[in-house]
Amino acid sequence: MHIHILGICGTFMGGLAALAREAGHRVTGCDANVYPPMSDQLGALGIELIEGYGADQLAVAPDQFVVGNVVTRGNPLMEAILDAGAPYTSGPQWLAEHVLHGRHVLAVAGTHGKTTTTSMLAWVLEAAGLAPGFLVGGVPLNFGVSARLGGAGPDARPLFVIEADEYDTAFFDKRSKFIHYRPRTAVLNNLEFDHADIFDDLDAIERQFHHLVRTVPASGRLVVNAREDSLERVLARGCWSEVVRFGNRKEEPGALRARGDPHDFDVLRGSMKIAHVEWALLGEHNQLNALAAIAAAEHVGVAPELAAEALAGFQNVRRRLELRGEAGGVKVYDDFAHHPTAMRTTVNGLRRSLDADLLAGAEIRPRILAVFEPRSNTMKLGSMKAQLPWSLEETDLAFCHSAGLGWDAAEALAPMGKQARVCDSIEALVTAVVREARPGDHVLCMSNGGFGGVHAKLLKALAARK
């Protein structure tokens, strides 16, 4: 089959392209901006890329056009496809029909932590010799690729681990992507309001999560964060599968909880210790992610003790508190956080790590300088601007890139006083950070985009200053 993918350079569609190519299909594609690293990754797979959405691409004449949710009515190529009556489908639908069908799907849903937890789960299954397929919205360092078909090896089983996004499927299918995946094991990691561009309120998102719950068979398992009232409301709408909760603050029969620090903790079922995790990851959020991965892997036969041993070797995902370099005694990190809760969690994880170093004998308390851009559609709309001071309160200084916003970032950050600075260009942002940074500082850059290459620019400017 020849498929032509519209929006191929997106994380999900790029992963789908890699899976299709690995399965032996001919794959071509187009996007508004074709540039590294995705263009390099796809090029290495022999996938021909076309820049733009010209109607002349109708002449590519694939067996099917696969349409990403970045494509809207009015797109020249899409209009040509519709006028010609050419066959088209969405990315999630194509994936369901050509990759997921016949497999035990393990889907990881939630507002936060999807990529990391999906990567953890895939690694646990890999370490157990089960050779899972996977599609992740990032690059797990243990694998070096965001997607593969899996299934090779003597103990391999038809398992597929997928990051289950609640964003809509396509302009012609407004259901959440995860509705198409039909998982037998579903992780509900957390649930907050997000995607203000397509959801009116939290109840609308809860409704989509319940649609996902409806697709899990009675023999399936729902792995549910016990700390989330929103998820309890989802289950209260109706539940037909086994439920295993995790993250309980108090003992509860059958539920998994942690005892100890996030980097070194026992896994308890009720009051019984069933495993121990000791690893390099930071933050309570990753401790919860680990519990979710352990509970999901158990559903396909991996003992919690073996899962915990595998997590000790988990190397995380690119752009998850990733140290990009050090210059002038200042460390610069990159993180994908963009929702206020994710930003607060990331800052807290770094703060706890630095405070642990302080207890171990560091002479001064290290400072955290947060550098962020409200880039997601939700943040650009200003739906969560009031939460920004809360998300940044553990930082010592916060620098906001305000270009392209329809609201006043300085006004939103006013409660932080002199702790917050607002800059309307990357150049001004770099200048402001370098002026304030001093040896021993940790500069944490947070964005769900490329952030104008701010990490490299900061390191260069820090190295050049006298």
**Domains present along the chain, CATH in parentheses:** 2-90 (3.40.50.720), 102-311 (3.40.1190.10), 322-464 (3.90.190.20)
Q: What is the mean pLDDT of the chain?
A: 90
What pLDDT score was predicted for residue 363? 67
| Radius of gyration, alpha carbons of the chain | 22
pLDDT tens per residue across span 7-26 = 998 889 999 999 999 999 99
What pLDDT score was predicted for residue 360? 59
What pLDDT score was predicted for residue 11? 83
Q: Please determine, for residue 205, whether its predicted confidence score (pLDDT) is greater than 70.
A: yes
The single-letter code of the amino acid at 331 is: K
Q: Please determine, for residue 177, whether its predicted confidence score (pLDDT) is greater than 90.
A: yes
What pLDDT score was predicted for residue 167? 86
Q: Please determine, for residue 36, whether its predicted confidence score (pLDDT) is greater than 70.
A: no
Q: Which residue has the higher pLDDT, 356 or 316?
A: 316
Q: Is the dihedral of CA 76, 79, 83, 87 positive or negative?
A: positive
What lies within 8 Å, CB to CB, of 7 at 6+ separation is: 13, 29, 30, 31, 67, 68, 69, 70, 71, 91
What lies within 8 Å, CB to CB, of 126 at 6+ separation is: 132, 142, 143, 310
What pLDDT score was predicted for residue 37? 65
pLDDT tens per residue across span 67-126 = 999 999 999 999 999 999 999 999 999 999 999 999 999 999 998 888 999 999 999 999
Q: What's the average model confidence in pLDDT over 267-274?
A: 93
Q: Please determine, for residue 338, whether its predicted confidence score (pLDDT) is greater than 80.
A: no
Q: What's the pLDDT band for 357 if we cut at 50, 70, 90? A: low
Pairing of the two strands 133-135 and 147-148: antiparallel
Rounded to the nearest angstrom, the gap between the alpha carbon of residue 155 and the centroid of all alpha carbons in its chain is 29
Separation of alpha carbons 374 and 337, rounded Å: 10
**What is each CA distance from 182 to 97, 191, 294, in whole angstroms?**
11, 19, 21
Q: What's the pLDDT band for 155 if we cut at 50, 70, 90? A: confident
pLDDT tens per residue across span 383-401 = 778 889 988 988 999 999 9
Separation of alpha carbons 138 and 116, rounded Å: 8
Q: Which residue has the higher pLDDT, 422 or 363?
A: 422
Burial 159-196 (b: 16+ CB within 10 A, else e): bbbbbbbbbbbbbebebbbbbbbbbbbbbbbbbbbbbb
Please, are residues 305 and 275 in contact by the beta-carbon 8 Å criterion? yes
Q: What's the pLDDT band for 430 if we cut at 50, 70, 90? A: very high
| Helix/strand number for the chain, H first, E second | 15, 23
**What is each CA distance from 167 to 17, 73, 78, 193, in whole angstroms?**
19, 18, 20, 12
Q: Which tokens sit at 361?
A: 């004998």
Pairing of the two strands 256-261 and 264-269: antiparallel
Nearest to 379 by CA among 422, 424, 338: 338
pLDDT tens per residue across span 183-199 = 999 999 988 876 666 77
**What is each CA distance from 178 to 7, 209, 271, 404, in whole angstroms?**
18, 9, 34, 31
Helix (H, G, I), strand (E, B) or coil at 372: strand
Q: Which residue has the higher pLDDT, 47 or 363?
A: 47
Crossing angle, helix 114-127 and helix 304-311, to 10 degrees?
110
